[in-house]
Amino acid sequence: MYINKEQYRRIKETLEKNAATLVAVSKIKPAEAIQELYGMGHRDFGENYVQELVDKQARLPPDIRWHFIGHLQSNKVKYIAPFVHLIHGIDSLKLLEEVAKQGLKNGRAIGVLLQVHIADEESKFGFDEADLLSPPFWERAAALKSVEIRGLMGMASFSDDQELVRKEFRGLKDLFDKLKDQVRQDHFNILSMGMSADYKTAVSEGSNMVRIGSILFGQRP
Ligand SMILES: *Cc1c(COP(=O)(O)O)cnc(C)c1O
């Protein structure tokens, strides 16, 4: 028994009301934990470390949709490019270009989200809002055919202050809406925000994809 099933049902209920997708964050947890949730019908799983993801992907069912949610180094994109469903943490044009290169090699368009720096903290990665509002960014991105920009991802401040967290999520939703008007592509439709501690706030501010680990699988060491 790895999964808190009651919690899973509660999360699913909240998300269904808002048409949001749950990415179950299984980093550091054993393949058996994933298998257990898979057995309950779940297919979207998120991992943070390339080697761990590659090992798990090889051992687990092929219809799992693997989300890479960690900080990705350009030189490691090639290991996950053949199978990854969605890369959440694209934080530079250089990384986006490398994903496109690997997409081309693998004969597929790889789905990605652009990570935006919204937290009141230095340590979190991501583009600034101004980078993404600049037309030259989108001109260069549009030239990359083997990558599909599906939307945005952000992490709020690690804080008990839910009003601060709410404000950060609201800012990201506003940016998402602006870019949707600007980009005008149907597949630009994912807003990944919210984790165990703040997913309810995120969903109430317009998130349609949450990444939840510890309240499902238990605390990580
Ligand atoms: C670990 C992680 C999560 C899940 O965090 P929990 O607090 O365990 O729900 C979500 N997003 C990212 C980017 C993470 O690294």
- Structure confidence by residue, pLDDT tens digits, 104-157: 999 999 999 999 999 988 777 899 999 999 999 999 999 999 999 999 999 999
Among candidate residues 31, 40, 42, the one with its CA nearest the CA of residue 64: 42
Q: What value, to the nearest 5°, has the Cα angle with vertex 30 and ends 39 and 154?
A: 90
pLDDT score recorded for residue 1: 84
Gap from CA of 93 to ligand 1 centroid (Å): 24
**Does 73 score more than 90 pLDDT?**
yes
Ligand 1 touching residue 195 (CB < 6 A): yes
Whether this prediction's pTM lies above 0.85 is answered by yes
- pLDDT grade, residue 65 (50/70/90)? very high
Closest residue CA from atom 7 of ligand 1: 196
- pLDDT grade, residue 64 (50/70/90)? very high
Ligand 1 touching residue 213 (CB < 6 A): yes
Report the number of secondary-structure helices (H) and strands (E) in the chain.
Answer: 10, 8
H or E stretch including 39? helix 31-39
Choose which residue among 90, 195, 196, 209 to substitute to test ligand 1 binding: the one with the highest number of ligand atoms within 8 A of its C-beta.
195
Beta strands in 26-174 (DSSP E): 44-47, 65-68, 86-90, 110-116, 147-154
pLDDT score recorded for residue 36: 97
pLDDT score recorded for residue 221: 84
Distance of CA 145 to the CA centre of its chain: 21
Q: Which residues, in sequence order, are CB contacts of 187 under 8 Å at separation 6+?
A: 148, 149, 150
